[in-house]
Amino acid sequence: MGSNYFVGILLVLLGAGFLLDQFTIINFSEILSVYWPSILILWGLSGIFNKRASKFGNTIVILIGVFFQLDRLDLINFNVFTIIWPVILILVGLRIVFSSRSINNGTTNSNMFGWSNENVSLEDSIDAFVIMSGLETNNQSQQFQGGRATAIFGGIDLDLRGAKLKNEETYMELNAMFGGIDIFVPQEWRVEVTGFPVFGGWSNKTRINTDPNAPILRIKCFVMFGGIEIK
């Protein structure tokens, strides 16, 4: 299931829940306060079955959701943070050890737990994922084909001002949950943004480009308790 379907279904369920709450049919506010971590679990599962998504990143999201859900249901009698941090650290360490990518080649676009990752990239697509940390990338691909960026409890700064679009049009998917994403694009690009923020927001601050032949970057956003800015 793609993120757009997930966001759509989530909005329908939230709207229906709040509507039923208004008619005192159910106490949706109480239900949401208990089961909100399930949103993380479902979001992670939707990414697991998406070929374009980061399987590792979505696994982390699922684990975070599971731990918080167990805590909200009082099925564990310890501080959830005392367990979740070691588990995530172990997974991150195993990924580094067994990853086919070399962290020292300057092309990795994943980042976790506070180390800075600033680099100039010539890769034609982006698959960036951060959790509780920050990532800064300057992509200067001359055949840029878009991609995906996800920030959870962290931030991503993506500079595309030195890049050129392949076939004069491409697509990006941006996901921000309890975090933020900033993207800088060339002035000659036309940026079209769609998305339905949930307790968050996105803004397109690029200049208005009325040139019908201008390169087009189409962006779809999923924002929950976060923000996305395109500049």
pLDDT tens across 165-192, in order? 888 888 998 888 888 999 999 989 999 9
Q: Identify whether the C-beta of residue 209 lies closer than 8 Å to the C-beta of residue 229.
A: no
Q: Are residues 61 and 119 in the same domain?
A: no
Compute the distance between CA of residue 200 and CA of residue 218 in angstroms, rounded to an integer: 20
The domain in which residue 168 lies consists of 106-231
Q: Which among 231, 227, 175, 173 has a CA at the least distance from the CA of 201?
A: 227
Report the interhelical angle of 80-98 vs 55-72 (nearest 10°).
Answer: 170
Q: Are residues 52 and 150 in the same domain?
A: no
pLDDT band at 160 (very low <50, low <70, confident <90, very high): very high
Rounded to an integer, the average pLDDT of 201-206 is 86
Q: Average per-residue pLDDT in the chain?
A: 80
Residue after which a domain boundary falls, among 71, 100, 129: 100
Q: Higher pLDDT residue, 1 or 141?
A: 141
Q: Are residues 110 and 205 in the same domain?
A: yes
pLDDT tens by residue, 49-82: 766 566 767 787 888 888 889 988 988 887 777 7
Q: Domain tally for the chain?
A: 2
Residue after which a domain boundary falls, among 85, 100, 115: 100
Compute the distance between CA of residue 182 and CA of residue 42 in angstroms, rounded to an integer: 26
pLDDT tens by residue, 2-33: 556 677 788 888 899 999 988 989 899 889 88
Q: Are residues 146 and 167 in the same domain?
A: yes
Q: Identify whether the C-beta of residue 185 lies closer than 8 Å to the C-beta of residue 161.
A: yes
Q: Higher pLDDT residue, 215 or 116?
A: 215
Residue after which a domain boundary falls, among 82, 100, 118: 100
pTM (two decimals):
0.56
Q: Are residues 90 and 114 in the same domain?
A: no
Q: Are residues 65 and 113 in the same domain?
A: no
Q: Identify whether the C-beta of residue 180 lies closer than 8 Å to the C-beta of residue 226.
A: yes
Task: Please count the CA atoms within 13 angstroms of the CA of 218 that sit on its side-chain side.
Answer: 5
Q: Are residues 96 and 111 in the same domain?
A: no
